[in-house]
Structure 1
Amino acid sequence: MPPRQRSYDWSDPRILAQAATEMDGIEFLKRIGTGDLPPPPAGQTTGIVPVEVGDGWARFELEPAEWHYNVIGSVHGGILSTLADTALGCAVHTKLPAGTGYTSLDLTIKFTRVATVDSGVLTCEGTVITIGRRTATAQARITDSSGRVIAHAVTTCLIIPSG
């Protein structure tokens, strides 16, 4: 049987880096969602897509595919962790002013159910729990198309002031 293949394109990441200095987090993420700004290269690579963002929360989706699989035939935990980290970080980003960065200090994820192509679209919503001058915490849940919890996660993000 011949190997399966996939290909994808991505935009210059400098476009997003520049835009992030010019608008607050919620506007920035909404403009990615509407297509006014290109999706990030990591989203193009993984298939993680933004659905909706609001003040202190962000929702992303992933349709599992064979190329997300680990050696035992299910979606790799690293892919699920990336989905959670994306929703968590972007939830924090919605609370930040223009030019302010962030990075994950930690990510704790608990896997509660296997995910496969039969799981349907996976949805992850991240929500900010606390935000201060230097750190923020957030939580998220990944659910399958039936609403069953696949995983839940928490993070602490370091807030990086502009300048």
Structure 2
Amino acid sequence: MTQTREETRTRTFEWDDPARTAQSVGQLSGLEFLQAIGRGDLPKPPVTHMLGIGAITAEEGRVVAELQPAEYHYNPLGTVHGGVLATLLDTATGCAVHSTLPRGFGYTSIDLSTKFLKPVTVASGMLRCVGTVVSRGRRTALAEARLTDAAGRLVATAQSSCLIFEVPPNQ
């Protein structure tokens, strides 16, 4: 089967230099950092532009991220690729942990355990991913996320462990 030009789709996107945002890690509390990105005071990370992740809102211990599924998210089966959903779940869990951190601290994911419950397509509508902190200590934190479609149906869940560390000054 030969693909015709009419079937070909194109997608372009732009992003800001991520260095400015990265330099602010540890200079603000985690919540201040996430809220600055949400307000547009700091550039959004490039991955959000690449995947089309929309609004990310944060309060202490809780983050909501949205994604409108698109054809460019599809796997060969005609559904949104699990890696895209896992990235959204990882974003919500990690940012939920970040929202609890004081100035001078950062985090990194140790693991991510996902469960995909329903296939997601463009017809699923706006996806809403809510990440919450389950437990946070001085060195590690556990967070979970629930991903729902536009009708409020649960389509995926995740749990993530994160390592908390001190950010060196002037990183």
What's the TM-score once normalised by structure 1's chain length? 0.97
The equivalent of 1:161 in structure 2 is 166
Question: In structure 2, how many angstroms separate the alpha carbons of the residues matched to 1:145 and 1:61?
Answer: 10
User: Which stretches of structure 1, 4 residues or longer, exceed 3 Å deviation after superposition?
Assistant: none
SS for the counterpart of 1:32 is helix
Does the aligned pair in 1 maintain the 2:25–2:167 contact within 8 Å? no
**TM superposition shift of 1:157:** 0.3
Aligned residues: 163
Question: In structure 1, how many angstroms separate the alpha carbons of the residues matched to 2:161 and 2:35?
Answer: 23
Give ranges in structure 1 of 5+ residues lacking alignment: none
SS for the counterpart of 1:22 is coil
The equivalent of 2:40 in structure 1 is 35
The equivalent of 2:89 in structure 1 is 84
What's the TM-score once normalised by structure 2's chain length? 0.93
Does the aligned pair in 1 maintain the 2:107–2:162 contact within 8 Å? yes
CA RMSD in angstroms, aligned pairs only? 0.9
**TM superposition shift of 1:36:** 1.2
Q: 2:52 aligns with which of 20, 43, 47?
A: 47
Work out the percentage of aligned pairs sharing the same amino acid. 51
Question: In structure 2, how many angstroms separate the alpha carbons of the residues matched to 1:72 and 1:32?
Answer: 34
**TM superposition shift of 1:31:** 0.9
Give ranges in structure 2 of 5+ residues lacking alignment: none
Question: In structure 2, how many angstroms separate the alpha carbons of the residues matched to 1:22 and 1:138?
Answer: 23
